[in-house]
Amino acid sequence: MLVECYDEDGAEVYEMIIKQIIQDVQVSRAIDDMKVFVDPREPVFIIVVKFKKAASPITIDDFTEYKYDKNENKIYIKVKDETYLPELLKKLWETEGREKIQQPSRFEVTINGPKSEIKGIVIHDPKDDLKKKIYDAIFRIIPEGFKVIRHNSKEDIIAMVCSDEIIKDEWIKKEEKMIKDLT
């Protein structure tokens, strides 16, 4: 991690604050690298975070068995691991409509008159959870009052230019260079 600031003591203090926040939000192991540029005289705050790859997404095929009954026009789902059952139900409610989904028992779900294919649908994506935690950390790190934010997110990079004024082109160029340095 690198905190760049005209004031070396200020940079050191900010680095300690960032480390504490990252620990509090429990993403320290997930962050591969980070660069921060802060200049309160401008005022500008730029943060670029490169995070590690998360675990693979969990699909319906990973924890259920299912079959389609053509005569009844129903899909019968047998849940083998109920860890992701709430997320499965939520996903099915979103795609099929709540009225079509029944849950006769803890380990059974049926879809009446399915309108879409369920094979391979992603039920839980750890990358989304990781990104939410990193965003939480970033918004705790950004100086209070810096409400003008330019967001730039690509694959395993989250970057933001923040200020309490209009974002200047030179700050965007600085952010782009910081992103390039981390990739």
In one-letter notation, the amino acid at residue 163 is S
E strand segments, the chain: 2-4, 31-39, 44-51, 58-59, 64-69, 74-79, 101-105, 108-112, 122-124, 148-154, 157-163
Position 154 scores a pLDDT of: 86
Position 80 scores a pLDDT of: 95
Position 60 scores a pLDDT of: 96
Please report, for residues 70, 118, 164, the alpha-carbon distance to residue 99 in angstroms, rounded to integers and kept in the order given. Answer: 20, 17, 47
Position 183 scores a pLDDT of: 86
Position 77 scores a pLDDT of: 97
Position 40 scores a pLDDT of: 87
Residue 84 · residue 55 · CB < 8 Å: no
Position 54 scores a pLDDT of: 85
Per-residue b or e along 1-32, where b marks 16 or more CB atoms closer than 10 Å to that residue's CB: eebebeeeeebeebbeebeebbeebebeebbe
DSSP structure class, residue 158: E
Q: List, run by run, the mean pLDDT of 10-residue segments along the chain (183 residues).
A: 87 92 92 93 94 92 95 96 94 94 95 92 93 94 92 92 94 95 89
Every domain of the chain and the residues it spans: 2-54+126-182, 58-124
* 2-54+126-182 CATH: 3.30.1710
